[in-house]
Structure 1
Amino acid sequence: MQPFWNFPATAGGTINSINNAGIETFRGNELDSLTREICQNSLDAVKDEEQPVIVEFKQFQISRNQFPQRDELVNAFNKCESTWKSKNTKIEQFVEQAKYILKNDQIPFLRISDFNTKGLEGARTGELGTPWSSLVREAGSSNKGDSSGGSFGIGKSAPFANSKLRTLFYSSYDITDYQSHIGVANIMSFEERPGFNTLGTGYFTDSHNSTAISNLLNLDPSFQRDETGTDIYVTAFEPKENWVEAIRNSVIYNFFITIWQDKLVVKIEDETISHENIGTLISKLDDDKEEYCQVKAYFKLLTSEEGIQVPYPAKRYKKIGEFKEGEATLYIMKGEDLNRRVLMTRKAGMRLFEQNRISGSISFTGILIIHGTHMNQVFKKMENPAHTEWEPNRYEEAPSEAKKAFSDLRKFIRETVQQQFQAETTETMDAFGVSDFLPDTTQVAGEGDEKKESLTMKIKSIAHKKKEKPKKKVKKKQQKENFEDTLEEVGITPEGDQAGHSNDDRNEGEGLGGGTGNQQGEQGPADEGTGGAKEGKGEKEKNKPIDVDTRYICLEKDSGLYRLNIKPEKKFEKGKLEFKVSGEQSDYILPVITVTSNDIEITSIDKNVVRFVNLTGKKPKNIQVQVDYEQYCVLEVDLYEI
């Protein structure tokens, strides 16, 4: 039978409009999504694991007369136009553009070919569940193995998002030596004749059952396939950006581990990205982009002799089963100005996400690769459709155990980093310069004891002198631009113990600073920015200092954004926080721009003072604060009950 475009009918079923959920998933990030999904799918179909998979991207054009049964596809778009006229503006615009493209003399295509892969097995029979059926005919289906990258069947929509006709052609040479091709137009339902609507998906086929056509499709005149693999032809490929650069950067960013391991080679037009040149290409990435700096740090770890490899220990769970020792490996390295994150990947080697909140006091970087079969299976089931997060609730058989498994993995990362790199602390330290003020007790050989210096003291009596408690001073509130000038004018010298201390060991995953303010004394100082009582209230604030453990981490240095955790020692209804920068000679106020928190209700912000209503009693309070300071600083935070 002569090949034709077959649009199957729906008998009283769903009418599909233009908003295809799978395609819309990749809107706005089409080229990066195309690169990630294509390379991942090819890696999942590897034939010889001892050799790298090769993926090739090549653009070309064909005349409109060479487009397979172009007139039939144009006719389908005409029927879409008449069916949806004045009913859906978005469909009208899409159809108008599609018809315009199909009338042009030349139509642009992108050919994506892979090699050392198995091809689309199942094309001969069209059997349900085969790779061919899952890719071409089934919706939301994937038959990939446990160590594969994808599992939702959504990634196959990424090429459609890069076609202005939403039309692809698949050509395959599979490991059974069967050669086949088929076209898929993923458009919208239309009325074929009165009362007869189509599903909206059409197939370029030679059978009303939409089976594959027997033989390869050679649309690119410069290409001829002579080995197993798959070719995907993306029609009307007209990207808005430099597609070669975009795909190159996406390959490097997402697959540098796989390429470095010599499991993947990518060719983009005349460029080749391989094990031999991946290091050079990474070194040329723009340092002004944060994501590329991270890639450089991770690649340095992979290639440095200073890196440490730590196997994941054996774990057993009641429902999940057993992870054998070494099913995952953590690569870590310590150094200056590293990102304090661990890149998480599975066997396919594609970037998934970065695990942070590990240690803010240790400068390190790391990569965790899950390569064990069973561990891959478990964490694959936790993966979201975008492959950017592990979500334990997706593991339907045992979500609570999946959560525990993920928690154990994060704990392993934190503890390994701390055990390997945590600086040893000692109870003594050298005080530089103190020797200038101490007597020289060194004795030269041959000299007598008379050269020794000594100090003899005799205590005659001990008397206890009662120290009078200083009287509270009440001063009129003064509004001054500079707080230090105010102190000078009224003759007040700050007193009391307000020294900070580090709490690095109290948080498992953050770099911590801060301290415990107001450890001594019963009366806290007046607000440095506003005075002791809230202006206009007529009621003086208590200003009772509260002992508090304070921890913080800098989120964005340039914008002065910090995350703060405070744990008060008592319950209180209303309070205020005073922010200061700890300096060598003295502290000075730190103006606050914004404060957000789910644990406290902010009532006012005045210079460095934040007043609030306590919502959680003695429980720790997580606060995000933006301060007017563009450099790293040592925060001093005092808490008062008011």
Structure 2
Amino acid sequence: MTIEWKFPHNGFGQVRGVSDAGIETFTGTEIQSLAREICQNSLDAAVEGSNATIKVDFEQYRIPSSDIPGYEQYASKIQKAYDYWSKKNSEKTIKVLTKALNAIKKPNTVVLRISDFNTTGLSHPYEDSDEGWNALTKLDGGATKTGDKAGAFGIGKNAPFTNSDYRLVFYRTLNEDQETAAQGMSRFISFPEDLSNSMNTMTTGIGYYGNPEGNLPVDSISELEKLYQRTEIGTDVFVYGFNAGHEWNSDVINEVLENFLMSIHKNLLSVTVDNKVIDNSTLASYLSTYNSKIKNAYWYYQVLVRPETKVFKKDFHGMGTLKLSVLVDPSEKLNRKILITRSSGMKLFALGSMSRIISFSGVLEMGGKELNEFFREMETPAHDKWLPSRHSTNVPLAKEYNNELKDWIRGCIQTLGEHSSDDEIEVAGLAGVLQKESDKTNQRGDDSNKESLQDKIGSITIQPRTSKTKPKGLFYGSDGNGKSKNTDTEGTIGSDGDDPTTRNLGGTRHRSKKDSHKGRAEQGGHDTVHKRYGGDINQELKNVRVIKTSRNTYRVSFILPRDICAGHVEIVTVGENGKSNRLAIHSASELMGCTGIKKSSEGVDFSSMKGNEKVQFEITLLDNRDYAMEVNVYEHN
């Protein structure tokens, strides 16, 4: 059989320029994209039902340029392209072709081999199929994998060509049917085979090295066998004219750690780069070594291994399970992002804008074929974000589910932040330096200098400042003891002390004035004393938290000064003008420290609440808008 290069003619059709969209996608991140796309495709080719770890090897060779399969013929194709385009007015094209021509004429070249093992290999290499071999070499824009697969071979198959000075890649496979196949491919530029007859001989710019009849692969190519002989099922990719430079191995390791942390941690993937093995047993060591360049991966790994990490799970509409692992550590400057991964462990993207005040890092694993398939429909071609508008079947539902997932993540994080945000922060050394003058005089028993509230450190004056922070909630108690001069007719309230008092009639009614009242007292009525300082009436609630846990659900928590037998909670929203409006509650449920929680016309009714410990319940509003909320608690007689 004849093995040669063949560039099909375009049949007077489209002429392919040097700025191929698929290749330009990876320009600037060539080696990183190569590592990501190759490992992704290998994970997608895992043997179904097998627990074997996918292994991917990266190895570099330096060889004579004459050992490139079909070297003389391929060099002549580049020369023809240069001869044709050098007469055109395209500076970029001439520059690229000049570089390729100079590179191919060098006496030596570099080859990068990437091989995977414990995979299926590429199926149907000699058939007219849209799967396996043809999906890689001939099908353009038609990624065929579904579910939790990445969609190989879509745009990512262009990544190896960006790493070649002359856009030359060879493929070889041994598949599950024990078929062997090998073929070279060039994704280059259109050129005429005959410069004097350019219109009739113009090529498509894509060429194949193998069986020219049908541009099919062959059983083997001797030059590839000379580099490396395959004896196990899997696939090899050979990048000729490899141009990544001396730091290529470090760049590959960085990318593998950044994008396949979960795959390696779960023992789904092992990668060998220039004889350095990155697997489950060496992962921690490599993360420490490359920490400065992959800080995000380092923190995500801490999420996976530290015992204080909290795990949340959620069944998502019966499609699969969300598993969220979150590490909160106020003592560390974490990245405040959530790593989104496939079931294979491959990184999709990092989700931010969850919280500005909580120091956290997290990992979200999406389990289940249907769940992964639904969200995969929203992925961009680069697999780096979700865009609901890309969903092919149900854009409104995609938007709803995308928002719901993010709200759930945000709620989980805020729940953890609730337990850590009340901690006091002590700055070492400042306690003694910033001691108030009033404290010093009090220690001497001398209060003559109470008005002197300034300290000086050198020339710096430290001035105490009154807090203008508005309380987030108040407690309106109904207890207290007081007397009126005449409980039958009229009199002045507060004769038993100087605190302002209101006269409560029977039930919960009371006079509006606090200093005096008129009228006949009803049986069961009593005075309420409003002690503004140190009393338990009209106090600020402590540790008030209102945390949004989903689109219209909030978790409310606070601490009361004492136990209450009955009352209601009013949830109000405060506008920019400072005015408060009561929010309508759709439903309410108790969580801790309270009983008898239910919605009412005034907000939320309760039958009891405990004092001096956290009270917590959940409310659902009638809409999903965001509000600035305050909480007021009223005790009933």
Q: Please report the TM-score for the alignment, with normalisation by the length of structure 2.
A: 0.65
Counterpart in the other structure of 1:244:
249
Q: CA–CA distance in 2 between the matches of 1:331 and 1:102?
A: 50
Classify the secondary structure of the residue corresponding to 2:112. strand
Counterpart in the other structure of 1:469:
none
Counterpart in the other structure of 1:95:
97
Pick from 215, 218, 236: which aligns with 1:210? 215
Is residue 328 of structure 1 aligned with residue 328 of structure 2?
no
Structure 1's unaligned 5+ residue stretches are 316-321, 427-432, 438-455, 467-500, 510-548, 551-565, 571-618, 622-642
Classify the secondary structure of the residue corresponding to 1:296. helix
Counterpart in the other structure of 1:298:
300
- Percent of residue pairs bearing the same amino acid type: 29
Counterpart in the other structure of 1:40:
40
Q: CA–CA distance in 1 between the matches of 2:154 and 2:217?
A: 20
Q: CA–CA distance in 2 between the matches of 1:459 and 1:40?
A: 78
Pick from 330, 354, 358: which aligns with 1:358? 354
| 1:245-394 → structure 2 map (5 Å cutoff) | 245-287=250-292, 289=293, 292-315=294-317, 322-324=318-320, 327-336=321-330, 337=332, 338-394=334-390
Counterpart in the other structure of 2:407:
411
Counterpart in the other structure of 2:19:
19
Q: CA–CA distance in 2 between the matches of 1:204 and 1:424?
A: 63
Counterpart in the other structure of 1:156:
157
Whether contact under 8 Å (1:359, 1:508) holds in the other structure is: no
Work out which of the two has the higher radius of gyration on C-alpha atoms and give 1 or 2: 2
Q: CA–CA distance in 2 between the matches of 1:162 and 1:239?
A: 7
Whether contact under 8 Å (1:361, 1:504) holds in the other structure is: no
* Shift of residue 377, structure 1, vs aligned partner: 0.5
Whether contact under 8 Å (2:183, 2:210) holds in the other structure is: yes
Structure 2's unaligned 5+ residue stretches are 423-435, 444-493, 502-512, 516-541, 551-572, 580-624, 628-637
* Shift of residue 89, structure 1, vs aligned partner: 2.2
Q: CA–CA distance in 1 between the matches of 2:626 and 2:362?
A: 30
Pick from 106, 109, 114: which aligns with 1:107? 109
Whether contact under 8 Å (1:37, 1:156) holds in the other structure is: yes
Please say which of residues 59-68 and 392-401 is displaced more in the overlay: 59-68
Classify the secondary structure of the residue corresponding to 1:266. strand
Classify the secondary structure of the residue corresponding to 2:380. coil
Question: Per-residue displacement from partner, 1:394-428 (whole Å, max 9, x unpaired)?
Answer: 112101101111111111112222334423999xx
Question: Per-residue displacement from partner, 1:166-212 (whole Å, max 9, x unpaired)?
Answer: 01000111111000101111111111231221101010022231011
Q: CA–CA distance in 2 between the matches of 1:138 and 1:129?
A: 7
Classify the secondary structure of the residue corresponding to 1:191. coil
* Shift of residue 328, structure 1, vs aligned partner: 2.1
**C-alpha distance 266-406 of structure 1, shift in aligned 2 (>3 A):** same
* Shift of residue 241, structure 1, vs aligned partner: 5.2
CA RMSD between the two structures: 3.3
* Shift of residue 65, structure 1, vs aligned partner: 2.5
**C-alpha distance 107-461 of structure 1, shift in aligned 2 (>3 A):** closer
Whether contact under 8 Å (2:68, 2:240) holds in the other structure is: no
Q: CA–CA distance in 1 between the matches of 2:208 and 2:383?
A: 29
Question: Per-residue displacement from partner, 1:228-267 (whole Å, max 9, x unpaired)?
Answer: 1111110101224500111111111111111010000001
| 1:1-12 → structure 2 map (5 Å cutoff) | 1-12=1-12
Counterpart in the other structure of 1:233:
238
| 1:467-546 → structure 2 map (5 Å cutoff) | 505=546
Q: CA–CA distance in 2 between the matches of 1:17 and 1:180?
A: 30
Question: Per-residue displacement from partner, 1:561-617 (whole Å, max 9, x unpaired)?
Answer: xxxxx94569xxxxxxxxxxxxxxxxxxxxxxxxxxxxxxxxxxxxxxxxxxxxxxx
Which residue type is aligned with residue 351 of structure 1? Answer: K
**C-alpha distance 245-415 of structure 1, shift in aligned 2 (>3 A):** same
Counterpart in the other structure of 2:604:
none
Q: CA–CA distance in 2 between the matches of 1:116 and 1:402?
A: 35
Counterpart in the other structure of 2:607:
none
* Shift of residue 140, structure 1, vs aligned partner: 1.2
Pick from 396, 413, 422: which aligns with 2:392? 396
Whether contact under 8 Å (1:60, 1:220) holds in the other structure is: no
* Shift of residue 391, structure 1, vs aligned partner: 0.8
* Shift of residue 36, structure 1, vs aligned partner: 0.6
| 1:89-238 → structure 2 map (5 Å cutoff) | 89-125=91-127, 127-150=128-151, 153-193=154-194, 194=197, 195-196=199-200, 197-215=202-220, 218-219=223-224, 221=226, 223-238=228-243
| 1:426-465 → structure 2 map (5 Å cutoff) | 458-459=496-497
Question: Per-residue displacement from partner, 1:341-377 (whole Å, max 9, x unpaired)?
Answer: 2111111212222222223343322110112110010
Q: Please report the TM-score for the alignment, with normalisation by the length of structure 1.
A: 0.65
Whether contact under 8 Å (2:144, 2:153) holds in the other structure is: no
**C-alpha distance 314-220 of structure 1, shift in aligned 2 (>3 A):** same
Which residue type is aligned with residue 304 of structure 1? Answer: R
Which residue type is aligned with residue 200 of structure 1? Answer: G
Classify the secondary structure of the residue corresponding to 1:312. strand
Q: CA–CA distance in 2 between the matches of 1:424 and 1:40?
A: 38
* Shift of residue 462, structure 1, vs aligned partner: 8.7
Question: Once superposed, which parts of structure 1, at least 4 consecutive aligned residues long, lie more than 3 Å away?
Answer: 456-466, 501-509, 566-570
Q: CA–CA distance in 2 between the matches of 1:106 and 1:43?
A: 33
Whether contact under 8 Å (1:308, 1:333) holds in the other structure is: yes
Q: CA–CA distance in 2 between the matches of 1:460 and 1:384?
A: 71
Which residue type is aligned with residue 143 of structure 1? Answer: T
